[in-house]
Amino acid sequence: MKAYSLHALVSETGNLVLENLPFKAGAPVEVIITESHHHDPPTDRFPLWGTVIEYKDPFEPIAVEDWEALK
């Protein structure tokens, strides 16, 4: 048995229309519907693009007190 997955939205009237399915007309199919937990990607993939970045003391060690070997 071949499985085919797609994401669709239920209309306000409670109807679901499936179009362009990869099956021949008249082929028997089994339909199982589950709620999707698919998350839409964020609309802005790069939210910090073009923002100003400033480095204060870029060569200053960070978290020196967290390293036991340096004590």
pLDDT one-digit tens code per residue, 36-49: 877 667 677 888 88
Q: pLDDT (tens digit, 9 = 90+) per residue, 14-34?
A: 999 988 888 899 999 999 988
Q: How far is CA 71 from CA 3, 35, 53, 59, 64, in A?
A: 60, 55, 32, 20, 9
pLDDT band at 4 (very low <50, low <70, confident <90, very high): confident
SS3 64: helix
- The Cα–Cα gap between 8 and 18 comes to 8
